[in-house]
Each structure stands twice: as structure tokens, then as C-alpha cells.
Structure 1
Amino acid sequence: MTNKVQRAEKFMRHAMAAHGSSVYLVALAQTRSEHDAQDVAQDVFCRLLTDATAFTSDEHLRAWLLRVTVNRCRELHRMPWRRRVDALDERAELSSPDVGTEDAALAELRADPVWQALRELPEKLRVVALLHYVEEYSTDQIARIVGCAPATVRTRLYRARRQMRQILEPNSEPKEESYEQASV
């Protein structure tokens, strides 16, 4: 069992400033809810505060944070109450009372057709597409973060591109993409 530690305030400020937006964006893509994404991001940084992992670089810290974010989102989706809440959300979409105070960047992101298409992808495709195209991780790095083989990541990226193309261009014919293009 690892010992609990209390990290320095300077370290935590750096981690949040440097990687907070990435953690939030991955959480938002996975949960599809601003409130859940905020909760997940808070949970991730609370875990960092007391975790004893010795980080060798800033990239190691970033990968650790994103891995914990993906795992926390999976835990959230497995909770029994989550299925009941999701069923209610599908039946009636309630308007948010604080829409007037919404951040302009978040509103712009929500209106972006690519972001909307990304949100429609299944979780496994969504997370690899986000990590590859937004966070600019290689397929090997993504494989370590999500816990699968690099070939699986390449397949998921291929499927994500294909599905997003169908979502964004519903009237176009599906274009065949070779395996070589999918592995780039």
C-alpha cells in the first residue's frame, strides 16, 4: 500500500495550470456533462494531492493525470445511480439556470460541429480521438493511457474518423480509407 502524502502548493498550482484544461476537456468528452466533468477534474486533482507517485517529468505528470481522468470517468459510468440519472436526462432535458453566466469559450466549443460529432462517438472511440487530435499523443502513448494495445488505438482512431465523417457529412458517400492511412 502506498503512503499518503500532501504535495506542495507550488506543485499543485503548476499541475492545475499546466494540465487542468486537458483534464477537464477529457472529462467533458467522456462524461458529456459539464457538471460531471468538473467533479471528475476535482477528483483527479484531489487524488494527485495525496498520491505518492514520483513524477520524472512534466509529460509523466500529464499522462498520469489523463490516465486517472479516464479511469474516474469509467468509474462514474459504472455507478448504479448513473444509469437511472442518464435515463431521466434522455427523457427530459432541463435548461440550466445559469446559462447567462456561461463561459464564452465553452459556448463556442459546444457550438462547434466537430465537438458535437465527437460527443456522439462511443466512449472508446471518443477518448482516443480526443487524446490523439486534441492532446496530440501518439498511438503508443494513448495505448498506455487507456490500457490497450497500440493496434487497438489505431483501429479506434480509424473508426472514430469514419464515424465522425459520417456525422459531419451525412449525404456524402463513405470514402474508403486504407489501413496505412489509419495508422498514421
Structure 2
Amino acid sequence: MTDAEFRLAVERYGDMLFRLAYSCTRSRADAEDVMQETLLKLYTAQKAFESPDHEKNWLVRVAVNECRHLLRTPWRRRTGPLEEAADTPVWDTPAQSELFRQVMALPPKYRAAIYLYYYEGYAVREIAALLGAKISTVQTWLLRARGQLKLRLKEAESQ
């Protein structure tokens, strides 16, 4: 991969990779690490991609694997996260802020499925391939995530 091709790929996919990693890790620093590792693997990969969609799917799959690897490390299991209130995004309305907070409170597999389905526009079949799960499993994750979000948002609204 040439430097110019790499720069183009970073511009095209960098934000998407960061958002995906942030939705999985809930940490800006970890999301940046995952994004950098993913892009480094792209740069060093001796792989010819069939199309931009093939390249994007490959990057999403690598990013998901990097997130899983990061979340499984012994360091993460033995330490507690610091509160990173300063790192949370600022939203235009309180409803957007509440929705983001509730989505981030979901388990990682639900967050990743919600992000890929609603924000990146992937079909359930594609999400299953990217996350290494069965189609019915992804459908269940989306169903459960929607149910949890519905309950949590109703509770927050009534308070």
C-alpha cells in the first residue's frame, strides 16, 4: 500500500473506526489505540482488496477483533476504569445525550450491533459476518438492545 492510498483510507475510514472502537470500549484512549492498531494492520497488510466495501468490511472486522483483544487483557480485568466525564461527547439536545448514555450502558456486543446497524447501515447478515456470530444471534442482540433501550429511556423520561 502506498502512502497516498493509506492517507486516503485514513481519511475515509478513520472516524468510522474510532466510533466503532469507542462504542465497544467506552474509552477515548482505548478507541484511539484500537483505531491506530487497525490502521497499522491495514498499512502493513499485503492484501489486495476487491472494492472499497471489501476494504471497509475488512477494517471493521479487524477493529472488532482488536476491541475484543483489548477487553480480554489481564490488565483490563484487574483494574477499574477511571471516570472520563471530560471525554464524553457534547450533544445539541438532552434527548441525544440521554440516548448516547443509555446506548453506552449496554453490554459491548449489543453496542457494537446497534452501532453497525443504525449508524453504519450494515444489514444483519453483514453484521453477523463482521462480528463472527450467527444471523439469529445478531437479530437477538438487536432485539434485546432495543428492549433495554426502550425500558431505560422510559425510566429516564419518567424521572
Instruction: Give the TM-score normalised by structure 1.
Output: 0.77
Please say if residues 124 and 139 of structure 2, whose CA atoms lie closer than 8 Å, have aligned partners that are also in contact: yes
| Percent of matched pairs sharing the same residue | 35
Gaps of 5+ in 1: 1-6, 173-184
Give secondary structure in 2 for the equivalent of 1:108.
coil
Residue 55 (structure 2) aligns with = 61
Q: Could you list the per-position Cα deviations for residues 89-127 of structure 1 after superposition, in whole angstroms to 9, with x for gaps in the alignment? A: 3xx6377xxx5xx7xx93338x72221111111111111
Residue 83 (structure 2) aligns with = 93
Q: Counterparts in 2 of 1:43-54, with a 5 A limit?
A: 43-54=37-48
CA-atom RMSD, angstroms? 2.2
Q: Could you list the per-position Cα deviations for residues 65-90 of structure 1 after superposition, in whole angstroms to 9, with x for gaps in the alignment? A: 111111000000111011223x2x3x
Residue 131 (structure 1) aligns with = 116
Please say if residues 27 and 84 of structure 2, whose CA atoms lie closer than 8 Å, have aligned partners that are also in contact: no
Please say if residues 18 and 31 of structure 2, whose CA atoms lie closer than 8 Å, have aligned partners that are also in contact: yes
**RCO greater where, 1 or 2, for CA within 8 Å and sep 6 or more?**
2
Task: Name the CA distance, whole Å, in 2 between partners of 1:63 and 1:49.
Answer: 15
Larger-Rg structure = 1
Instruction: Give the TM-score normalised by structure 2.
Output: 0.89
Pairs aligned (count)? 155
Runs of 4+ in structure 1 over 4 Å off: none
| 1:113 is the counterpart of 2:107 | no
Greater helix share, 1 or 2? 2
Q: Counterparts in 2 of 1:121-160, with a 5 A limit?
A: 121-160=106-145
